[in-house]
Amino acid sequence: MVDSNDNHKKYARFAAHSLEMATVATDPDSRALQREMAIEWLKLAEAALEPGEDWLVYDLGEPESLPVARAVLVVDDDPQVLDVTAWMLEDLGCEVITAPSAKDALQKLATLPHIEILITDVNMPDMNGYQLADAATQMRDRLKVIMLSGREIDGRGYPFIRKPFLREDLNATMALTTGLC
């Protein structure tokens, strides 16, 4: 005979899995569907409880086994481009940190050790994107870098995206070079 706690636990795990899938889905429709599925599984988990029985807390595994968004530092002196790029990355499931200048970016790299990817505009005042990338990779040799520019024609050895670009361009370049969030 199946205990109600067994069903409750099974449905709660399915809900947790659906929520995990929603965090890594790149398509907004897929994320919405996974969230809806999680809600339905939670309803089933609640229905499986006996009257007066409380929700149980389950160990869903070690934290490192659960998907975690990768941290991306985006640098651009144009606030609109910075905001749109950040929005695109958030839509791809990334944790996004923004900086309006190379100086600010280097400060964030010095204080936020979880940043894995740097996406920077090339043409900025004071320090250009190439100089920033060189300084940043000297600070952190495993840092992945992508260059953005509407004027330049190559990334000088770094992966390069020409502005203006679409989310699909960003997604494809990340998939081929830095890995996705």
Q: What CATH number does residue 142 fall under?
A: 3.40.50.2300
Q: For residue 9, what are the domain limits?
A: 4-63
Residue 167 is classified by DSSP as H
What are the residues facing 97 on neighbouring strands?
A: 73
Query: What integer pLDDT is reported at residue 39 of this predicted model?
Result: 76
Residue 134's identity, in one-letter code, is D
Residue 131 pLDDT? 97
Segment 106-124 shows an average pLDDT of 96
How far apart are alpha carbons 178 and 161 in whole angstroms?
A: 13
> Per the domain annotation, does 150 fall within a domain?
yes
Q: Are residues 95 and 59 in the same domain?
A: no
**Which has more pLDDT, 173 or 22?**
173
Residue type, 180: L
Q: What is the pLDDT of residue 139?
A: 95
Strand partners, 96: 72
Number of structural domains the chain divides into: 2
Closest CA to 55 of 2, 16, 9: 9
Separation CA 175–CA 116 (nearest Å): 14
For residues 77 and 165, membership in a common domain is answered with yes
Beta sheet of 115-121, edge-to-edge order: 95-99, 71-75, 115-121, 144-149, 160-162
Say if residue 129's pLDDT is above 70.
yes
Q: Mean per-residue pLDDT for 62-83?
A: 78
Residues 83 and 44 in one domain: no
- Rounded-to-5 percentages of helix, strand, coil across the chain: 50, 15, 35
Q: Which residue has the higher pLDDT, 17 or 102?
A: 102
Where residue 22 falls (left for φ over 0; alpha for ψ -120 to 50; beta otherwise) is alpha
Mean pLDDT of 26-54: 70
pLDDT beyond 80 at 6? no
Q: pLDDT grade, residue 93 (50/70/90)?
A: confident
Instruction: Show which of 63, 80, 96 is a domain's final residue.
Output: 63
- CA count, 13 A, side-chain hemisphere, 177: 21
pTM for this prediction: 0.64
Given this model, what pLDDT does residue 154 score? Answer: 80
pLDDT, tens digit (0-9, with 9 covering 90-100), for 17-38: 666 666 655 566 666 776 777 7
